[in-house]
Structure 1
Amino acid sequence: MTVVLDPSAQSAPIQGVLDPISCDARDFGAYARNGGWAFALMVARSVRPGGQSADETPKVSAKEFAELAGCSPERVMRYYKAWDRAADEGLVPHFEVLVPGQDIELPDAEAWQTYYVSRSSATSERGSAITEAAAAEGIRPTKALEVAENPTALRAAILADPSTAQAARAALLDRVKEDPALQAELARDIARTDELKKAVATETRAADRIGYVRQIAEKGQIRTPAGQTLDAPAELRSEAERHLSFLDELEEGEDTGEWATEAYDTMKNLVVETVEADPELRVQERRTKFYSSLQKATKVFEELTFDDADDIYEDDMVQRLEELQQAIGSCITALRSAAPRP
């Protein structure tokens, strides 16, 4: 079907070229310059706007125009709505001022995709959300809508292409921050997948070790094996800062596990050396460790109940308790002998 933008376009053929070819070339040139605006103008100047009756204007309805064009009314209305949106922003004239056959200067083709949506799904609430998100990302809504309408194709691209998988991962991470339902679903998926559970455990361990080094480097505090929190010596803090700087410079996606372990082990050894090098600190460390073990043992023993001793009695139980009693007695004796003399 030949598209005629101006009735006069059929006259004065290009010298040496047949008239139908001249019309096609001119129509092609108009579309190349203006894109969909050329077709939207045909709709805007030929289809009567809502609220006007056939008696008020020579224009026809969208249905009648579609029948003449041999396409669906929905397709006509997509061009109609694109023009309407552009008119609301002052980019093109409103329907009411246009008459059939009228030509005007059209916007550049690049602006067309901002107003035209080729898919009917874009009119839904879901489609509107996708369109807004696409605009925020600086891409054409039609591209995002096409992907959303074909999740199987998206799955295939993610499975086959690492860069697509990375983009999908980044998008999920952005979405999961504000989507509690998705958070729960992903957590369940991880808990039910052995490979993911192991990967999460590995990354968690690496993160904890980096956190240990960061605590020393940024807060200047160390935690001893017995659980004491102390101010870190300057040289130890400087070493932590060196390791942390290296860890922070690792590229995204690079495995941090090995480097985190090396930094963690180095700092743990330095903390032990720091404690052992200070006699007073060494004694305090032993005292703290002893108290910690004593509290744990006391709590465990207090949780034991003997209300049903008749049912649970075993010779081995009595023997173990007697041995424990002897150990406690020896401990008490040692502590009393070490007590300061009055």
Structure 2
Amino acid sequence: MTVTVDLPEPSAPPLAEVHADVARDARAFGAYARTGGWAFALKVARSVRPGGQAAGETPKISAKEFSVLAGCSAERVMRYYKAWDKASDDGLVPLFEALAPGQDVELPDADVWLTYYASRSSATSERGTAITAAAEAEGIRPTKALEVAENPTALRAAILADPGTAQAARSALLDRLKDDPALQTELARDIARTDELKKAVASETRAADRIGYVRQIVENGQIRTPAGQTVDAPADLRAEAERHLSLLDELDGSEESGEWATEAYDTVKNLVAQAVEADPELRVQERRTKFYSSLQRATKVFEELTLDDADDIYEDDMVQRLEDLQAAINTCITALRKASPAH
């Protein structure tokens, strides 16, 4: 059987036994715990005269004079002043004109303080407003985002030292790139000037192209032959492409896709070559397409030769090369004529 005994809680010492300075600190702490920054904003609001009110009309003093007495900057005083001003516009606290020095009023809860108070002057700038809006959209306190924005050296140190921070920075940059053409250009320029990044981009582009080659076969059911023909993919080839693509799609973001992409591409490409060789009609058409493509390229190159200044550029080797080319063309023409149906 368990017996519960209620013990008396230790009682606080009578106020008469507490040092006056300790009691004052405790009361100040309690006021701040309940009201947060409102307790200090009230001191500013009831002591600093509003704009447009002359010094002789009120015992209140200017924000600069108040800051001298407080031993802080006038800018800091004005941040509390502006917070009270915004809250008074919303009817949360009395107007400045309704307050007298030393007057106490009921203050809002501490939870709403940060809604009105900008702990940094940058928060009121256009840049600060944008950062604040982005922070609120991400569900974090704007003061945290503003602090990071005002200390890029600290941000750089965190990115260099911590993979998690670097990953967050990378994701943020990618999101920003979508709507920032200037940043796109700058980043592309940085990549072009950095050999390691150029190699990495080339490698990833090659892997993406190879994955795209396999994906196109799976999704469209067609293959592109080495000569550039587009034909329907055999069922077994398409099934093998689907198998490799499923392996690629299962890779997570941290896994390298280069080797997997190369294996898939090489396997499928070999199967395409085998499919071409296994089909006599396709094989002939492939040779015809490849030959005609080469002929078009050769014709274009020869047409681009400029012979107007041949007198000035004569070389024996040039003549010999052209004579060899002429002989090769004659041989080719003879072979084609023999293969023609009419012959």
Q: Equivalent residue for 1:3?
A: none
CA deviation after TM superposition for structure 1 residue 161, in Å? 1.8
User: How far is the alpha carbon of 1:53 from its aligned partner?
Assistant: 4.6
User: Once the 2 structures are TM-superposed, how far is the Cα of residue 247 of structure 1 from its aligned partner?
Assistant: 1.6
Give 1:92 shift: 4.0
Distance 1:277 1:136 in 2: 60
The answer for the alignment partner of 1:6 in structure 2 is none
The 3-state SS of whatever aligns with 2:179 is: coil
Deviation at 1:265, TM superposition (A): 0.9
Q: Distance in 2 between matches of 1:288 and 1:89?
A: 78
The reply on whether 1:321 has 2:322 as its aligned counterpart is: yes
Determine the C-alpha separation between the residues in 1 that align with 2:173 and 2:20.
Answer: 56
CA distance in 2, matches of 1:15, 1:245: 79
> Which of 92, 96, 102 is residue 104 of structure 2 equivalent to?
102
Query: What's the secondary structure of 2:231's corresponding residue?
Result: strand
Q: How large is the RMSD of aligned CA atoms in angstroms?
A: 2.5
1:42-61 alignment runs, 5 A limit: 42-53=43-54, 59-61=60-62
Check 1:15–1:271 CA distance in 2 against 1; reply closer, same or farther (3 A cut). farther
From the superposition, tell whether residues 240 and 94 of structure 1 become closer, same or farther in structure 2 (CA, over 3 Å): farther
Aligned partner of 2:6 in structure 1 is none
1:288 CA drift (Å):
0.9
Which residue of 2 is the match for residue 237 of structure 1? 238
Is 1:124 paired with 2:125? yes
- The structural deviation recorded for 1:268 is 0.8
Bigger Cα displacement from structure 2, 318-327 vs 284-293: 318-327
- What amino acid maps onto 1:126 in structure 2? R
Please say if residues 224 and 272 of structure 1, whose CA atoms lie closer than 8 Å, have aligned partners that are also in contact: yes
Partner SS for 2:334: helix
* 2:176 is the counterpart of 1:175: yes
- Superposed counterparts of 1:17-166, under 5 Å: 17-53=18-54, 59-99=60-100, 100-109=102-111, 111-166=112-167
1:174-193 to 2 correspondences below 5 Å: 174-193=175-194
Question: Which stretch shifts more, 23-32 or 123-132?
Answer: 123-132
Helix, strand or coil at the partner of 1:222: strand
- Which has the higher mean CA deviation after the structures are superposed, 290-299 or 274-283? 274-283
AA partner of residue 330 (structure 1) = T
Letter aligned with residue 222 of structure 1: I
Question: d(CA) in 1 for partners of 2:110 and 2:245?
Answer: 53
Which digits, 9 at most, give the CA deviation of each residue in 1:3-38, with x for residues without a partner?
xxxxxxxxxx73632332122112112222332222
Q: SS of 2:213's equivalent?
A: helix
Q: Which one-letter code corresponds to 1:240 in the other structure?
A: A
Q: Aligned to 2:15, what secondary structure does the other structure show? A: coil
8 Å contact kept, 1:114–1:140 = no
Verify the 8 A CA contact 1:243 1:263 in the aligned structure 2.
yes
State which drifts further: 139-148 or 70-79: 139-148
- TM-score, normalising length from structure 2? 0.86
CA deviation string 1:275-325 (max 9, x = no partner): 222221111111111111111111111111222222222222222222222
Check whether the contact 1:213–1:240 (CA below 8 A) recurs between aligned residues.
yes
CA distance in 1 between partners of 2:299 and 2:287 (Å) = 18
Aligned residues: 330
Name stretches of at least 5 consecutive residues in structure 1 with no aligned partner. Answer: 1-12
- Report 1:287-302 matches (<5 A): 287-302=288-303
Displacement of 1:239 in angstroms is 2.5
After TM superposition, the structure 1 stretch with the greater mean CA deviation from structure 2, 217-226 or 310-319, is: 310-319
1:285 partnered with 2:289: no
Q: Amino acid of the residue matched to residue 207 of structure 1?
A: A
TM-score by length of 1: 0.86
- For 1:208 and 1:101, locate their aligned partners in 2 and report how far apart those are by CA, in whole Å: 74
Q: For 1:85 and 1:267, how far apart are their aligned partners in 2? A: 67
Distance in 1 (CA, whole Å) between partners of 2:254 and 2:25 is: 54
Show structure 2 runs of 5+ residues with no match.
1-13
Distance 1:96 1:202, change over 3 A: same
